[in-house]
Each structure stands twice: as C-alpha cells, then as structure tokens.
Amino acid sequence: MKILVVGSGGREHTIVWKLSKSRHVDKIYAAPGNFGISSMCKCVNINVTELEALADFAEKKEIDLTVVGPELPLTMGIVDVFEEKGLKIFGPTKKASEIEGSKAFAKEFMRKYHIPTASFRIFENYEDARDFVESNDTPLAIKADGLAAGKGALICLNRMESMKALDSMMVKKVFGSAGTRVIIEDILVGEEVSVMAFTDGKTIAPMVSAQDHKRIFDGGFGPNTGGMGAFSPTKVVNDRMMRAIMEQIMEPTVEGLRQEDRLFKGILYAGLMVTEIGPKVIEFNCRFGDPETQVVLPLLKSDLAEIFLSIVEDELELQDIVWKEESAVCVVMASEGYPEKPVKGRRIHGLKDVRKEGCMVFHAGTSRGKDGHVITSGGRVIGIAATDRKLQGAIAKAYKGVGRVSFEGAQFRKDIGHVVGGVKSSFF
Ligand code: AMP
Ligand code: GLY
C-alpha cells in the first residue's frame, strides 16, 4: 500500500514512523514533511493548503490512502476534494471538522446535545462584549472563534485582563479574522487531559489518555503554545473516568454530529477539564494532538494503517486495538523567542546521540541548511520521546535525550510529566 501523509510537524513524523512499521505499507510520501521525516520517506514540496495539488499528486502516484495531520486542510475541505475524485483519505469532512474550526459552532453544538462544557456567551460586536466584561469582574476564558494555532484562548483573572483580551482580539485583531467573533466562558477548575479516539462515525475506539503542557514556562506559566510536552497515560483518567468521558462526551458527540448530517470519521480529540463534578469539554479537535501523538502512538501495539483503512471503510468495529501497558513522555525543544517570534536558522547539534539514550526524536521545525547541517526552521523544533514501564523512568530517559541535543537559545520545560494545577493568567 502507498500512503501520503499531509503535514510537517512532530505529529506527522510520529505518524510516518508508526506507519512505516505496518505490514501493509510499502511506500510513504509526506507533503511537505521536514528534515526528520525525509530520513524515513520521500518528501514532496506541496503545502498542506494546496488541496488540488495534493489530490493531483495522489492521483498521479496512485496513492492508496492519504492521512491528514493538521486541522487547516481538514477545515478547508481536503477530505471533500479527495472524495470527489474517488481518492481514499483518512479524516473528517469540512462540515464535520467545524467542531474544531469554529469554537462558536462547537459550543452551540454542546449546548444542544447536553455535552458538559463551561457556560458561555458568544459576541460578534466589541461594544456588547465590553459591556458584558465590565459588569463581570470574575475570571473568564476569552477565545477567538476561528483557528489560531492553539493560541487563541486567553485566561483572564479580572476585568482589566478581560478588557485587554477583548482589545487584542476584536480591536487590534491579533488573530486576524479568527477574532471577529469571541466566546467568553466561565473558568473550569481541575486537571486538563486529552482524550483522543478513532471513530468511523459509528464505532468509537478511545486511545490511551494523555496530558499536554501548554504553557511555555515551568509550572504552567507564561503564554500558551502549541504544546511543550506530553505524557501518557495519565492516572487522572482511570477506567471509571474513561467510561464517563465516553458516555457523557464522546458518544453523544459522534451521535450528535451524525444527526446534524456531519458524520465524523477520523480522530476526535477532546480537550477536557476533569473537574470535581466530572469531565467537561474545553475544546474539540478534529485530528491527532501535537505533541500527544508523540506519546500515544509509541504505546500502540496494533497496526495503524489497518486502523485507518478500517475507518475509511466503515469497519472499525472489526478492529481489536491493543495498547502497551507502559508510559511515554515527550519533551519539546523550541526555538528562542517561541511562541511570539521564534528565531530560525540555528544549527542543531547532537541529534545522532539521542538514540544512545533509548529515545526517539520526532522532528517538527527542522530543515537542511545550505551547508547540509540540520537547522531550526520553526517554533517547536523537535520532540524527544521515551517509553518505560514507569512514568518516572520515561521522564528520566527523555531528559537524558534532551541533554544530548543543543542549539542556541533552545527552550524546553524541565517539568514535563509533572502537573501543577491551578488557574493561571495568560498575562504574566
Ligand atoms: P482552547 O484553545 O479552547 O483549547 O484553550 C487553550 C487552553 O486554555 C486550554 O488548553 C486550557 O488550558 C485553557 N482554557 C481554555 N478554556 C478554559 C476554561 N474555560 N477554563 C480553564 N481553562 C481554559
Ligand atoms: N496539544 C494540543 C493540540 O494538539 O491542539
């Protein structure tokens, strides 16, 4: 089988790595891929938003299955474009992807189907939003409606911070048109977890749980990032909690989307707050998490290509998906200046030595420099992942791997695998 993987991050490197172990897969292409991915398969220089060019490539190369990593092409309708041409592709349609593409849609949907989430208001007009905030000096989460690379939600502890958030989204438009509408919601208190599931729109198969570290600094301080590291599984999601998440959240969501004529096939990712009164949805994503994938797929024993195919063919119920009873950790190394203004073009040293520590390296923002060396080319640069029978063992191994790699200005958190709860402002 020939597979095309769309995307260029650590998540896609992990997907390519796992697919390369499949007995069904003979050849993998990635578009556009990155330096690390190019060592495992052939990278083609087509951007993730060039939907027609991707479909033409898949047709020309007789690709048997295309797998989409990031949300942007999904929300743009890549699955619809491929399916119209009779090409097999793994992921939700444009209509189904709206569960991630529009937070306003997701919130209204959750309200309609009684899926637990924070109570909220939606505003399209700055003056109305400002009036609401002026009369509410309580902590609030203020979010841009559209896609903002995981950075469009601000946690505001008081009126002053809320006014600042509204000003940046609706007046200064720092997230562009994504901030035309804002969602203002109550703060949820608890532990944040990520639960992803494979689904063909009928059967839902949950993956092992994970926790992501979203803020840039240790202890969960500073601005939000795409994710600075992750671990799996998390003890917060024990069997009972997983059952509650499936019954109260995943099942009604998949069923509700089907009722709305938005059949969801692919990866449904629920970002959840496990509160004192049970799990509540912070957000849905329509794809694998990054860096959650880097810790979840190393724990998957089953053949990933077989699972993807079974979903495309509406036969997920026939799959017996098996997980290793181990822990996995991934520490992300990011560029100086990330998340605001990442500095690129720095030479990366020591990558070859990481494997000596028993770690895996998943590349994100890397490329080949003019002199042939590997250089940084994005905000998140690499993820160093390790597995072990115990979480502590996986943490220790991953940090030994991190110790082998260096590039000027590298930023990484020292506390991946340790969660410190509490609500923290986005403004300091
Ligand atoms: P989102 O873009 O909606 O996933 O939000 C980004 C991050 O902000 C989440 O991962 C949470 O850490 C935090 N967050 C968002 N909404 C809330 C909320 N209602 N209560 C507490 N934290 C939140
Ligand atoms: N790690 C968060 C995300 O993938 O959206």
| 3-state secondary structure (DSSP) of residue 1 | coil
Q: Tens digit of pLDDT for each residue in 195-231? A: 999 999 999 999 999 999 999 999 988 888 989 999 9
Sign of the dihedral through C-alpha 189, 194, 195, 199: positive
Q: Which of 99, 120, 122, 155 to mutate to test the pocket of ligand 1 (most atoms within 8 A of CB)?
A: 155
How far is residue 189's CA from residue 155's CA, in Å, rounded to a whole number? 12
pTM, to two decimals? 0.94
Which CATH number do you get for residue 269?
A: 3.30.470.20
Pocket of ligand 2, beta carbon within 6 A: 150, 212, 227, 285, 289-290, 292
Residue that terminates a domain, selected from 318, 335, 353: 318
**Structure tokens that stand for 344 in this block:** 């690129």
| Residue 297 CA, ligand 1 centroid: distance in Å | 24
- Residue 108, in any domain of the structure: no
pLDDT in tens, 378-393: 999 999 999 999 999 9
| Segment among 84-93, 192-201, 221-230, 327-336 with least mean pLDDT | 221-230
Q: Which CATH number do you get for residue 142? A: 3.30.1490.20
Q: What is the pLDDT of residue 420?
A: 65
Residue 426 lies in a domain: no
Q: Are residues 12 and 24 in the same domain?
A: yes
- β-strand 2-7 against 65-68: which pairing, if any? parallel
What is the C-alpha to C-alpha distance for residues 329 and 418, in angstroms, rounded to an integer?
11
CB 327 within 8 A of CB 394: yes
Residue 100 lies in a domain: no
Quote the number of domains for the chain.
4
For residue 150, what pLDDT is reported? Answer: 64
Residue 6's CATH number: 3.40.50.20
Residue ranges making up the domain that contains 294: 189-318
What's the pLDDT tens digit per position in 274-311?
999 999 999 999 999 999 999 999 999 999 999 999 99
Residue pLDDT, tens place only, 156-202: 999 999 999 999 898 888 887 776 889 999 999 999 999 999 999 99
Distance set, CA 106 to CA 102, 122, 204, 282, 284 (Å): 6, 12, 19, 10, 7
Percent of the chain at pLDDT exceeding 90: 86
Q: How far apart are CA 137 and CA 143, in angstroms?
A: 17
Could you tell me if 195 and 171 lie in one domain? no
Q: What pLDDT digit, counting tens, does each position of 385-423 carry?
A: 999 999 999 999 999 999 999 999 999 999 999 976 666
Residue after which a domain boundary falls, among 136, 154, 186: 186
Residue 109 is assigned to a structural domain of this protein? no
Q: How high is the pLDDT of residue 137?
A: 80
Q: What is the pLDDT of residue 79?
A: 98
pLDDT tens across 233-244, in order? 999 999 999 999
